[in-house]
Amino acid sequence: MILQALKQYIQNNPGCSLHDLSVHFAMSEDASMAMLNSWVKRGKLNIEKTEGCAVGSCHCDASLSQVYLRWCDDLSIGVSKR
């Protein structure tokens, strides 16, 4: 049941962060990632990792690395549109 809710959240919020997903479901990021790993291995979920800010003294929110989630539709996997 929780896996279906996670999937629905990711589909409704394309490009959401792992942090936002974890906060929404009141779980740790590690627990969320453990549940999502089977979809990643099957190619259903794309994970994009961004590095933190290279300037340590800039005090921007980008100083921490982020993980973004995007659900892959079956029709878009391995198909190129011309």
- Longest Cα separation, the chain: 45
- What pLDDT shows up at residue 15? 92
Estimate to the nearest angstrom the gap between the alpha carbon of 22 and the chain centroid.
Answer: 10
pLDDT confidence bin for 8, thresholds 50/70/90: very high
**Domain ranges across the chain:** 2-76
Q: Rounded to two decimals, what is the model's pTM?
A: 0.73
CATH number of the structural domain 2-76: 1.10.10.10
Residue 15, helix vs strand vs coil: coil
